[in-house]
């Protein structure tokens, strides 16, 4: 705690020095204490959201190793929702039962956990349209799509020919592709790479499925992605141009690169048939195309973040092992003789620069992992070579990885808040287990200097965040299904049908405070399919269907229909009950599945 206060502008230190000093100074102490109190009160006012009011922004955060997406309100820092993606969640009936679609999707694509890093949002005309969110699973080479109309994961795909899906970005301005790369070089089958057996690709995904339309072979690995604002370029940082497999090999060179893929040239190569089909995907080898597809701009050293400015002018590589950010003029990329000539500036910003974000007023904010700081610097000044480009620095608690200013990935950043996603919190919270909680900090960036407002812990571990204005998101969220699903059960249609000697189908409605059937009878060994419709028309009136001893829970929003299939392999009486507290008679909202034993 002492260390924390000590770093925060030195209040604790100056206070104790002053107290030890002569009584003449007691007036100054008092004045400082009053000032400090006023500052705390002002900070509190800025982040406090009155009861019943909305936060201005909804932040979608990577849930890290939890395999989910966390939705926080800003500026309050309240956790509003967690959306399960790569992990089961019983409350929503997500992937927790073998017969369900969400379960089958996870099973088909890999594991029941994930390592999420980068949430990204769909764009129309360069701004968020509130339709979809994608997130990578670095551990199992997957990409998932969440439908924001229901805050539900609706699609997950494996990306062939790569390992370690890491960087991911929407191709602006209209979400023509999702680009995702492989951070780890590995074998690509069918001899595409011989004699150099290891490789990686940048995959261009169909946004909806999200499966690859084509892939581009990369020299070395790839790390973080972004796209130009006109949809022409896909960028990624490469930190292993050495093609090393050990850490020593990966840091041998002083320069790695930002790779720029000319998207129209890649599309033309596909059209001309300049590709090889590998594991069902068209793969372009940039060394073998008629028109140049790949441009490599040298960037020191093991760069990490790759960020395009909101005006689309520059792409920036944050140095990681170099204290610099390299600014590349996108318009020059295919006009200069050597890609190096497209570099517009290379300002020194501090130690361990990881990611850079923007306020839309010409300033960049770079996270400094080693220095534990966010540094604000002026882009035009850095490009012009004006030595006064550093505007401000703020201390972070501690070791910031990602940082994002609100709406900085769009063409219109709002420029008011910045979130710092930190890897360590040290002694800021109780030691709540073998590891301390990770930490995130909210910074006011509306003025010339930055102002740290608040800190709130996060699940391990916060990687990246994207934001939407609450007012933009609100009209997109569907809370009651208007169109009944084709298999919906209507009031009065609840029934059980035997569809085969060992197969039954149960159709049931759910409404306050009863299920359509108070009980149904099946035979031991029957394959049972239950189709359940929540026939409520009132917003937020959810019902659940949990079946004791069968490990089943289905959760249904108003108007939703869901189906589950299982084998009734245990004879006896099994209660099913509603899992959402829906009314005063919620506890009574239950029924029995009677399983007749084989010899009954
Ligand atoms: Cu920098 Cu996976 Cu975005 Cu984390 S990566 S910090
Ligand atoms: Cu329905 Cu509780
Ligand atoms: Ca390197």
Q: Whose CA is nearest to atom 6 of ligand 1?
A: 401
Left, alpha or beta for 444 (phi > 0: left; psi -120 to 50: alpha)? beta
| Spatial contact of 344 and 327, defined as CB atoms under 8 Å apart | yes
Length reported for the chain: 600
The per-residue pLDDT for 6 is: 36
Tokens representing 491 are 């009031």
| Spatial contact of 589 and 563, defined as CB atoms under 8 Å apart | no
| Spatial contact of 167 and 181, defined as CB atoms under 8 Å apart | yes
582 CA to middle of ligand 2, Å? 4
Lookup result for tokens 């020095």? 17
Domains in the chain, ordered, with CATH?
Answer: 495-596 (2.60.40.420)
- The H-assigned helical ranges of 185-257 are 247-250
Tokens representing 246 are 């050990």
Q: Is 463 in the pocket of ligand 1 (CB under 6 A)?
A: yes
Q: Whose CA is nearest to atom 2 of ligand 1?
A: 117
117 CA to middle of ligand 1, Å? 6
Condensed to tens digits (0 to 9), the pLDDT of residues 76-121 reads 999 999 999 999 998 888 998 888 899 999 999 999 999 999 999 9
The per-residue pLDDT for 487 is: 94
Condensed to tens digits (0 to 9), the pLDDT of residues 334-351 reads 999 999 999 999 999 999
- The H-assigned helical ranges of 457-600 are 470-473
Q: Is 354 in the pocket of ligand 1 (CB under 6 A)?
A: yes
The per-residue pLDDT for 393 is: 98
| Spatial contact of 438 and 425, defined as CB atoms under 8 Å apart | yes
Residue to mutate, 237, 239, 463, 466, ligand 1, most ligand atoms under 8 Å from C-beta:
463
Ligand 1 atom having least distance to the Cα of 138: 2
| Spatial contact of 58 and 407, defined as CB atoms under 8 Å apart | no
Q: Which residues pair with 225 in a beta bridge?
A: 236
- 3-state secondary structure labels for all residues of 542-556: CEEEEECCCCEEEEE
- 10-residue mean pLDDT series, the chain (600 residues): 38 41 54 88 96 97 93 96 95 87 95 96 98 97 96 97 96 98 88 76 98 95 96 97 93 96 98 96 96 97 97 97 98 96 98 98 98 98 98 97 97 98 92 88 98 91 94 91 89 97 98 97 97 95 95 92 94 97 96 88
Which residues are near ligand 3, the ion (C-beta closer than 5 Å)? 256, 302
What distance, in Å, lies between the first and last C-alpha atoms of the chain? 69
Ligand 2 atom having least distance to the Cα of 587: 2
Query: How many C-beta atoms surround the C-beta of residue 527 within 10 A?
Result: 16
354 CA to middle of ligand 1, Å? 8
The per-residue pLDDT for 28 is: 61
| Cα–Cα dist 532/529, whole Å | 10
Q: What's the mean pLDDT when you consider all of the chain?
A: 92
The per-residue pLDDT for 17 is: 42
Q: How far is CA 441 from the centre of its chain?
A: 17
Ligand 2 atom having least distance to the Cα of 577: 2
| Cα–Cα dist 265/395, whole Å | 44
Q: Is 515 in the pocket of ligand 2 (CB under 6 A)?
A: no
376 CA to middle of ligand 1, Å? 20
């Amino acid at each position: 705690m002492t260390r924390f206060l000590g770093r925060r502008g030195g209040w604790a230190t100056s206070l104790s020095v002053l107290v030890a000093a002569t009584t003449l100074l007691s007036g100054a102490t008092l004045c400082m204490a009053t000032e400090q109190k006023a500052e705390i009160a002002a900070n509190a006012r800025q982040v406090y959201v009155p009861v019943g009011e909305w936060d201005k922004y909804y932040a979608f955060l990577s849930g890290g190793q939890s395999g989910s997406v966390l939705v926080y309100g800003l500026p309050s820092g309240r956790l509003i929702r967690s959306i399960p993606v790569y992990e089961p969640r019983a409350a929503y009936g997500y992937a927790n039962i073998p017969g369900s679609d969400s379960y089958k999707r996870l099973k088909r694509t890999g594991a029941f956990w994930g390592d999420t890093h980068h949430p990204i949002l769909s764009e129309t005309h360069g701004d968020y349209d509130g339709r979809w969110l994608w997130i990578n699973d670095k551990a199992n080479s997957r990409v998932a799509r969440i439908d924001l109309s229901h805050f539900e994961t609706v699609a997950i795909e494996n990306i062939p020919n790569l390992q370690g899906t890491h960087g991911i970005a929407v191709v602006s301005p209209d979400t023509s592709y999702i680009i995702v790369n492989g951070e780890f070089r590995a074998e690509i089958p069918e001899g595409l790479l011989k004699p150099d057996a290891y490789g990686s690709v940048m995959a261009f995904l169909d946004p909806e499925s999200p499966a690859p339309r084509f892939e581009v072979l990369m020299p070395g690995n790839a790390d973080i992605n972004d796209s130009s604002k006109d949809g022409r370029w896909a960028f990624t940082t490469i930190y292993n141009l050495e093609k090393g497999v050990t850490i020593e090999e990966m840091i041998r060179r002083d320069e790695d690169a930002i790779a720029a893929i000319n998207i129209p040239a890649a599309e033309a190569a596909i059209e001309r048939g300049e590709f090889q089909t590998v594991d069902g995907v068209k793969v372009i080898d940039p060394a073998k195309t008629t028109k140049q597809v790949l441009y490599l701009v040298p960037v020191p050293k093991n760069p990490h973040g790759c960020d395009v400015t909101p005006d689309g002018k520059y792409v920036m590589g944050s140095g990681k092992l170099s204290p610099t950010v390299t600014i590349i003029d996108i318009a020059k990329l295919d006009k200069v003789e050597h890609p190096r000539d497209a570099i517009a500036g290379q300002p020194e910003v501090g130690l361990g620069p990881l990611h850079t974000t923007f306020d839309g007023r010409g300033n960049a904010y770079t996270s400094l992992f080693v220095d534990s700081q966010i540094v604000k610097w002026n882009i035009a000044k850095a490009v012009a070579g004006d030595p006064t480009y550093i505007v401000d620095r703020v201390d972070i608690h501690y070791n910031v990885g990602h940082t994002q200013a609100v709406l900085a990935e769009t063409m219109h950043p709002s420029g008011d808040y910045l979130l710092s996603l930190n890897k360590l919190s040290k002694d800021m919270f109780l030691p709540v287990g073998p590891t301390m909680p990770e930490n995130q900090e909210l910074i006011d960036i509306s003025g010339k200097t930055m102002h740290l407002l608040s800190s709130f812990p996060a699940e391990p571990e916060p990687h990246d965040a994207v934001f939407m204005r609450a007012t933009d998101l609100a009209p997109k969220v569907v809370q009651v299904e208007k169109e009944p699903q084709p298999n919906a059960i209507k009031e009065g249609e609840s029934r059980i049908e035997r569809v085969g000697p060992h197969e039954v189908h149960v159709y049931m409605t759910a409404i306050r405070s009863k299920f359509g059937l108070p009980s149904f009878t099946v035979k031991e060994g029957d394959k049972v399919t239950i189709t359940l419709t929540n026939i409520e028309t009132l917003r937020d009136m959810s019902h659940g269907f949990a079946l004791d001893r069968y490990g089943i829970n289905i959760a249904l929003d108003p108007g939703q229909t869901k189906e589950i299939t299982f084998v009734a392999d245990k004879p006896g009486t099994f209660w099913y009950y509603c899992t959402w507290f829906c009314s005063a008679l919620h506890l009574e909202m239950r029924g029995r599945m009677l399983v007749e034993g084989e010899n009954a």
